[in-house]
Amino acid sequence: MAKFIQSLANGLNLGSIYALTALGYTMVYGIIRMINFAHGDFIMVGGFTLFYMIPVMTKIGLPAWFSVFAAIIVCVFVGVATEQIAYKPVRGQGSTTALITALGMSLVLENGALVLFGSAPRNVPPMFDLPLLKFGEITIPPQTVLTLAIGIVAMILLTLFVRYTKLGKAMRAVPEDKIASTLVGINVNRIITITFAIGSGLAAVASMMYTTSYVSIKNELGITLGLKAFVAAVLGGIGSVPGAMAGGLLLGIIEIMVKVYMLPGTYEAVTYLILILVLLIRPSGLMGKAVSEKV
């Protein structure tokens, strides 16, 4: 039983990282119907920013976790730059062009990091000094509580934002009908840029959660994390904010459970198998809306 609860806690920890990453995917997909392959690499960028900023922060006497603000700034910058330089020119040229461009940007970031930082993994210094939570035999790492809390807060804020603010309404209007939203005075390009900024900011937060839990970062971190977060987004129903959260947590728990109770090496295969099954059986995911094809 203790082992089970321990695994559950670990699963939630991993799951909330996936969830926060999946939120970024879902935001972008929800608005421009494009898989932003580079999203995972934004997290890698955030991780490297943290790696370089934490020593600076401690040197000037600020708490180490302040460096997450630096990471947010860098990630938002990279995200918006990616959108402006690469995605904006190809918008309207069809989904295949967008897909290839996104893949290309992912490769640019990944290999740019390889050139800049090398391929050796780096260890990010700890940002928080929290005590271990002990309940009898079960030790819950403090970052589990932290990541879960941040994830849930982010999800609630995002849901409220999308549902009740004017900007959020505009965000929902753009994917419904681009021309009509332009007619009612929505600046579509600006909305898309803001969406990218929010998504990349979330990626920076996700990178903080990732580095507190897993410490080691390298330039290839974005690919696997990105792919798995995408699985989570699809599992929850792509385009749905609560769906991304639920999908992420579920995927994290499943991975850890497979790792602990079944063959440890195969958990990745299980993740991708889930993706295939979801896409074949219920492509709209757990919480997504089914969209019928227009003829």
Partner 1 sequence: MPGKMKRNYGICFAAVILGFLLLCLLFDTSLLGKKAVYFNGLIVIGMFYTIIVCSLNLLTGYMGEFSLGHAGFMSIGAYLSAIVTTLIKDNMELPSLVLFLIAILVGGIAAGIVGILVGIPALRLSGDYLCIVTVAVAEIVRVVLSNFGIPAITGSATFGKSFAGIAKVSDFHYVYFTMVICIFIMYCYIRSGYGRALISIREDRIAAAASGINVTKTKVLTFTISAFFAGVAGAIYAHYITTLVPTYFNFSKSAEFLAIVILGGSGSMMGSIVVAPILSALPQLISYVVPAFASYRMLIYAVILVAVMIFKPTGLFGGREFSLPNFLDRMLGKNKKEKG
**Positions in the binding site for partner 1 (CB under 8 A):** 34-35, 86, 89-90, 93, 95-97, 99-101, 103-105, 107-108, 110-112, 114-115, 119, 223, 227, 230-231, 234, 263, 265-266, 268-269, 272-273, 275-276, 279-280, 283, 295
- Provide the minimum distance between the beta carbon of 106 and partner 1 in the complex, in angstroms, as a whole number: 8
Question: Measured on CA atoms in the order 110, 114, 120, 121, is the torsion positive or negative?
Answer: negative
- Provide the minimum distance between the beta carbon of 32 and partner 1 in the complex, in angstroms, as a whole number: 12
The residue whose two tokens read 């996936």 is 18
Find, among 150, 152, 125, the residue nearest to 65 by Cα: 125
When the beta carbons of 167 and 279 are compared against partner 1, the nearer one is 279
When the beta carbons of 108 and 260 are compared against partner 1, the nearer one is 108
When the beta carbons of 5 and 108 are compared against partner 1, the nearer one is 108
When the beta carbons of 93 and 139 are compared against partner 1, the nearer one is 93
When the beta carbons of 93 and 123 are compared against partner 1, the nearer one is 93
- Provide the minimum distance between the beta carbon of 283 and partner 1 in the complex, in angstroms, as a whole number: 7
- Provide the minimum distance between the beta carbon of 260 and partner 1 in the complex, in angstroms, as a whole number: 16
- Provide the minimum distance between the beta carbon of 282 and partner 1 in the complex, in angstroms, as a whole number: 12
When the beta carbons of 39 and 201 are compared against partner 1, the nearer one is 39
- Provide the minimum distance between the beta carbon of 8 and partner 1 in the complex, in angstroms, as a whole number: 24
When the beta carbons of 63 and 112 are compared against partner 1, the nearer one is 112
The residue whose two tokens read 């995917």 is 25
- Provide the minimum distance between the beta carbon of 199 and partner 1 in the complex, in angstroms, as a whole number: 17
- Provide the minimum distance between the beta carbon of 292 and partner 1 in the complex, in angstroms, as a whole number: 13
Distances (CA, A) of 162 to 137, 166, 172, 173, 234: 42, 8, 7, 11, 20
When the beta carbons of 88 and 145 are compared against partner 1, the nearer one is 88
